[in-house]
């Protein structure tokens, strides 16, 4: 819709008279009308939203990074390119890519494959949990080598 400025709305002076030509409503009044329609027509609103998201997938994806992490999709792609388009953790070159970040500080660490992202998430980003997992794997690797050697000697 085309915007123009007119008389201040009594209900929404914060929009400084910004209005829409199609119906003359100020931004605030239009937002209220839209919210009321969505409450009154939840099924249609959900279908419309789903269709819009499908038709505007790239736009949705690019704003998701901005909303969640404060960076654009182009900035995420730049981080990935700096990692030679490989997982920042395992170095793999295929999979679904995720923007990894510290959950406490929200600071971005890099781009990970889904397996590494899942692993860090389930470990709750705890270095101690991951060290314990490494010890566990090393212990069982030694035991399996011992069993293999005993079986071959028999």
Cβ neighbours for 30, distance < 8 A, ≥ 6 positions apart: 20, 23
Write down the residue that tokens 């990894």 correspond to: 100
Domain limits of the chain?
A: 1-51, 56-113, 123-154
| Tens-place pLDDT, residues 4-25 | 677 777 888 887 777 776 677 7
| Tens-place pLDDT, residues 26-78 | 888 888 989 999 999 999 999 999 999 999 988 887 788 888 888 888 899 99
Question: How many other C-beta atoms are found inside a 10 Å radius of the C-beta of residue 125?
Answer: 15
CATH code, 56-113: 3.40.1800.10
| Tens-place pLDDT, residues 96-133 | 999 999 888 889 999 999 999 999 999 999 999 999 99
Tell me the pTM: 0.59
Number of residues written out for the chain: 154
What's the rounded Cα separation, in Å, for the pair 105 and 14? Answer: 33
Task: Give residue 144's pLDDT.
Answer: 67
Q: What is the mean pLDDT of the chain?
A: 86
């Amino acid at each position: 819709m085309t915007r123009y400025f007119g008389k201040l709305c009594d209900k929404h002076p914060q929009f400084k008279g910004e209005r829409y030509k199609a119906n003359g409503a100020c931004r605030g009044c239009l937002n209220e009308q839209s919210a009321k329609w969505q409450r009154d027509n939840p099924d249609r609103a959900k279908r419309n939203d789903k269709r819009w998201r499908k038709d505007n997938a790239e736009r949705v994806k690019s704003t998701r990074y901005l909303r969640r992490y404060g960076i654009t999709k182009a900035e995420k792609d730049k981080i990935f390119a700096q990692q030679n388009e490989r997982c920042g953790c395992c170095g793999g070159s295929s999979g679904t890519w995720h923007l990894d970040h510290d959950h406490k500080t929200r600071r971005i660490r890099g781009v990970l494959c889904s397996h590494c992202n899942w692993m860090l998430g389930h470990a709750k980003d705890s270095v101690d949990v991951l060290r314990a997992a490494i010890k566990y794997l090393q212990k069982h690797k030694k035991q399996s080598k011992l069993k293999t050697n005993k079986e071959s000697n028999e």
